[in-house]
Amino acid sequence: MSDYGVLPSRARVPHVPLTCTQCSTPIEYLAPNPSPPTGTPLRIRCYKCSAIITHHTGPVQSEAASSSKRASGTSTPQPRKRKIGTQERPLETAYYEILGVEITATTDEIKKAYRRLAIKHHPDKNRDDPSAEETFKQISIAYQVLSDPELRKKYNEFGPKEGTPDAGFVDPEEIFSAIFGGERFVPIIGHISLGKDMKDALQNEESDHEEPSEPPQRDAKGREIISPEERARREEKRLRKEERERQIDAQATRSERVSLLVTELSRKLSIYTESATGHPQQDADVANSWRQICEIEANELKGESYGVELLNAIGFVYVSKAKHYLATNQTFMGVGGWLHNIQGKYHVFSETVSTVRSALELKQVFDQIAEAEKSGMNPEQKKKLEEQAAEKGLRALFKGAKLEIESVLRETCDRVLADPTLQSSKLHLRAEALQILGEAYLSVKKDGDATEEDYVRIETNASRQRAANAGYT
């Protein structure tokens, strides 16, 4: 028998759980009685920060229901919250709820909703309501964010600014672009799609065991129960559709990227093609001037993040494609072009193998970290493994990005050297200019005695030690 005696009880009172949109504190409020219609906006004051938030009612989920689940020893796996939202599925909808508009609302609809609410809740018209000023403030903040296309996009993806780190929004695409080349390389290689792929992965990251949106029984309107098998079939169909849409979007994005790069590269090569005449003696000076221009650009770009590695990769593709074109059009039956084509395919194969090897090395380090956690490895050894993982991870990312860049540039060069609007003589000059540009990029080397390990530019004890040994400060 228990020593606590007979404990009193009380009637179950339904409370509605939610999260404060200002301080992110989990709160709950007593469900009104009688229950208001679904979708009715209720104003709730947060007990912690005293902010007034708007919550639209839905089917009441009582404490009793959740208590019975706990008592029965069963628990429904909670969906893991996405790290980044999309424009169709925002990470949070609080600002939309404050203005009382749908997530698909147009700018005009948002403006109309703001004007209506601003007039209704203006503090001067609600002097007797102590919360009027805070309500009006929240309405204004929601409007300022949702009425600006850029801010609205950021809000849909990352939620309100108050809920983000001090550094603000962190966009994987922007980080990826900044690490590998930065803005100065965009006209040459475009935006690396791996960054967008990482962002899409975060946007679609959800639990494999999502809580059913409908209870496993008929509702008050007698709607038919959906079996688990049917639900799984529909989910699989939805995922296949989303994957097809992503592939179509990726193809369209790549096509647009290549088109922009073709335009930019053609414009750059025109400096040579519009000055050259086709006469070897006269064109020698033009070629020397063009080579100097290319070398100046290469020396400026080498200082960017991963500048040398990117320039070497770009230069290799430019030279290979230029030589392939010239050999195809200058040798009997294009035999020389076949040789360059075989060399190009071997390069792609070897780079792919190298990328896979880097990924396997990274996996081995992560496996070692997992074993270290199980065996109780000391913090210093574990930290060393984590630093190795950081370096190998960045190296693997770069190798993957390099494969993508070379693939895009091969397609770009093919289109530049097959422009149907130009005569063969002009295309020949383009190939010459492309080869000179590629050779200038390939000639760029790392300063001093930089080693292959400096390929990965991330601050760790190992990288700092290498820098010290090399005499850098």
Separation of CA 235 from chain center: 24
Domain ranges, ordered by start, for the chain: 15-71, 243-445
Mean pLDDT score across all residues of the chain: 75
Cis peptide before 34 (omega within 30 of 0): yes
Q: Which residue has the tokens 């007990």?
A: 47
Q: Which residue has the tokens 């005009």?
A: 108
Residue 431: name the closest of 444, 411, 442, 416 by CA: 416
Residue 366 · residue 389 · CB < 8 Å: yes
Q: Above 70 in pLDDT, residue 26? A: yes
**What backbone torsions phi and psi does residue 71 show, to the nearest 5 degrees?**
-65, -35
This prediction's pTM? 0.54
- C-alpha to C-alpha distances, 161 to 158, 167, 282, nearest whole angstrom: 8, 10, 61
Q: What is the mean pLDDT of residues 102-131?
A: 81
pLDDT tens profile 195-217? 666 666 655 654 444 444 444 44
47-61, 255-269, 380-394 — which one is most confidently predicted on average? 255-269
Residue 425: name the closest of 326, 344, 290 by CA: 326
Task: Give the rounded percent of residues in the chain with a pLDDT score beyond 90.
Answer: 21
Q: What are the start-end ranges of the E strands in 194-246?
A: none
Exposure on the CB side of residue 247, measured as CA atoms within 13 A: 6
For position 22, what pLDDT does the model report?
73
Q: Is pLDDT larger for residue 83 or for residue 148?
A: 148
Cα diameter, the chain: 109
Tokens of 285: 């000076």
pLDDT tens profile 216-229? 445 455 555 566 77
- Continuous segment of H or E residues that includes residue 249: helix 228-273
User: How far apart are alpha carbons 203 and 260 in whole angstroms?
Assistant: 27
**What backbone torsions phi and psi does residue 54 show, to the nearest 5 degrees?**
-105, 130
For position 70, what pLDDT does the model report?
42
pLDDT tens profile 156-190? 888 876 434 444 445 556 666 667 777 889 999 99
| Lowest mean per-residue pLDDT among 2-6, 42-46, 178-182, 384-388 | 2-6
Q: Which amino acid is at 460?
A: T
